[in-house]
Amino acid sequence: MQTHHPFDQSGTFEIHVVGNVDMRWMECMTGMTSSAHRGEHAGEWITVLLGWLPDQAALNGVLNALYTHQLALRYVAMLTRSDAPFDAVQSEKGDET
């Protein structure tokens, strides 16, 4: 059975790439956070990008920027579906208390 996933669905995405990503030159990464850790192989670094993207076009922009900078993808996943950025959702939850 095929599950329908809207093409214009916004949400929080996690992207793993080989290497150390300098977020300063990645304009399309606005709002995303990054962390780096050692990979499975000696001397390898993995950068984990995490953040809210408004749709698949924005995700494609991030992936194209990584490709342009010759950074190899390891993993891409949509963690949550959300119409608002993660920070906005967290602030709204904080306002309820």
Whether residue 69 is contained in a domain is answered as yes
Taking alpha carbons only, the member of 42, 49, 34, 44 closest to residue 79 is 49
7 half-sphere exposure, CB direction, 13 A CA radius: 2
Q: What confidence score (pLDDT) does residue 97 get?
A: 42
Average pLDDT, the chain: 79
pLDDT of 89 above 70? no
Question: For residue 10, what are the CA distances in angstroms to 40, 47, 66, 88?
Answer: 31, 22, 20, 13
In this predicted structure, the answer to whether residue 18 has a pLDDT above a threshold of 90 is yes
pLDDT digits (tens, 9 = 90+) for 49-71: 999 999 889 999 999 989 988 99
User: What's 53's domain CATH number?
Assistant: 3.30.70.2040
pLDDT above 60 for 86: no
Question: How many folded domains does the chain comprise?
Answer: 1
pLDDT of 87 strictly over 60? no
Containing structural domain, residue 73 = 11-95
Which residue from 8, 38, 40, 42 is spatially nearest to 20, judged by alpha carbons?
A: 38
Taking CA atoms, 63 is separated from 28, 34, 38, 49, 97, in Å, by 10, 15, 21, 11, 38
Residue 91: predicted pLDDT: 43
Report yes or no on 1 lying in a domain: no
Average pLDDT over residues 25-45: 79
Measured over all CA atoms, what is the biggest interatomic distance in the chain, rounded to whole angstroms? 47
Amino acid making up residue 5: H
User: Residue 74 pLDDT > 90, yes or no?
Assistant: yes
pTM summary value: 0.74
